[in-house]
Amino acid sequence: MMEAKRKWDVKKLGPLIGLVLLCMVLSVLSDDFLTMDNWLNLLRQVSINALIAFGMTFVILTGGIDLSVGSVLALSSAITAGMMAQGINGFVAIFVGLLAGTAMGVLNGVLITKGKVAPFIATLATMTAFRGLTLVYTDGRPVTGFASSDILFQMMGRGYFFGIPVPIILMLVVYLVLYIALKKTTFGRHTYAIGGNEEASRLSGLRVDRLKMYVYALTGALSALAGLILTSRLNSAQPTAGTAYELDAIAAVVLGGTSLSGGKGWIFGTLVGALMIGVLNNGLNLLNVSSFYQQVIKGAVILLAVLLDRRKEA
């Protein structure tokens, strides 16, 4: 038994080994890769995808999916930016933006649990609708004009704390909280149970619908947070921001070894998965690979990682 257990641990290290190998190759190919500046930049870029992917991990663990994250990001960013452009206090605007993201997540949850719509379909619909609402609200133009209005908002995307960019700190804090939630709390255990066998969980007296609602709300809130970081960095809210972000988030979750059928996975894997995607983007840029080829290579790496994972399972 001890042996079986150890094997399992090695298997779980797969994504981490992949990430280390990728970094080693890139540090040989490019002199700039292993510099402090480059890594802070890289991590700051990763933070947006990672935050969304953390939420996505919970959703996928329950056996669901959330395609609406990019649109939630755009709409909540536009709301916050719009409020600030009208001179409303940054703290209030941030709060309302996060609340809006959470509310959109709750709507997804209601459609899925009370409406009994398949998560893929429900969030496909809200993805389209939220994007449309963003375009309506912004009239299709970027929301700007809040340049130096609020120091708190400025900090979210561009600030430093003891020399570390604030987005990285936000990412790590959220990671830590969610790691503990998944590992140590009833919420985490129930998330796994529902993904593993929803009917058995319901018959065990678990509040399945409520938990799913929480999970989609969490993802909505984290998408909004990612959106605020992005908006703060760009100093404007783009109506098309976050397009196709759901795909990067799902890729990070899957690269990390979480099963799309639910019940099996871990959030550390997602962090590693998000880093892999970030490192790859960064490395290919440093090597001046054309953006067309970058997509081909990214796709190939995702496939390779998943194929290797399958092989280990067989």
Partner 1 sequence: MRPLIDMRSIQKSFGTNIVLNGVDFEVLPGEVHALMGENGAGKSTLIKVLTGIYDRDGGTIVVNGRDVHYRHPKEAERDGIVVIHQELNIIPTLTVAENIFLGREPKIGRTGVIRYKEMEQQAAAHLRRLGMDLNPRELAGRLSVGKQQMIEIARAISTNAKCLIMDEPTAALTEREIQALFSVIQTLKEQGIAIVYISHRMEEIFTICDRISVLRDGQFIGTKRVKETNVDEIVQMMVGRQIGERFPKRRVTIGEERLRVERLTKIGVFENVSFSVRAGEVLGVAGLMGSGRTEIMEAIFGARPFDEGDIYIDGRPVRIRSPRQAVEHGIAMITEDRKQKGLVLEMSVHENLTLPKLEQLATAGFIQSSKERDVVLSFIHLLNIKTSSPDLAVKALSGGNQQKVVFGKWLAMNPRILILDEPTRGVDVGAKKEIYEIINELAAQGVAIVMVSSELPEVLGMSDRVMVIHEGNVQAVLENDGLDQETIMRAATGGNR
Decide: is 240 part of the binding site for partner 1 (CB under 8 A). no
Among 1, 151, 307, 314, binds partner 1 (CB under 8 A): 1
Query: What's 114's DSSP letter?
Result: T
Give 179 or 187: the residue with its C-beta nearer to partner 1: 187
Query: Taking CB under 8 A as the rule, does residue 137 contact partner 1?
Result: no
Q: Determine if 184 is a binding residue for partner 1 (CB under 8 A).
A: yes
Query: Partners of 169 in the beta sheet?
Result: none
Output 195 or 242, the one with its CB closest to partner 1: 195
With CB under 8 A as the contact rule, which of the stretches 45-53, 67-75, 190-198, 213-221 interacts with partner 1? Answer: 190-198
Tracing tokens 């070894």 back to the chain, one arrives at 257
Least distance between partner 1 and beta carbon 193 (Å): 5
Write the Ramachandran bin of 150: left for phi over 0, alpha for psi from -120 to 50, otherwise beta.
beta
Q: Is 158 in the site for partner 1 (CB under 8 A)?
A: no
Q: 74-86 as b/e, with b when 16 or more CB fall inside 10 Å?
A: bbbbbbbbbbbbe
Subset of residues 261 to 280 that bind partner 1, contact rule: CB under 8 A: 263-264
Residue 164 — φ and ψ, nearest 5°?
-110, 130
Residue 174 CB, nearest distance to partner 1 (Å)? 17
Question: Within 10 A of 28 (CB to CB), how many other CB atoms are there?
Answer: 10
Decide if 228 contacts 77 (C-beta within 8 A): yes
What's the sign of the alpha-carbon dihedral 228, 175, 59, 57? positive
Q: Residues binding partner 1: what is the number (CB under 8 A)?
A: 23
Q: Binder to partner 1 among 35, 128, 144, 186 (CB under 8 A)? A: 186
Q: Tokens 């930049």 correspond to what residue?
A: 41
207 binds partner 1 (CB under 8 A): yes
By beta-carbon proximity to partner 1, the closer residue of 139 and 199 is: 199
CA 217 distance to own-chain centroid: 13
Residue ranges in contact with partner 1 by CB under 8 A = 1, 5, 184-187, 189-190, 192-193, 196-197, 199-207, 263-264
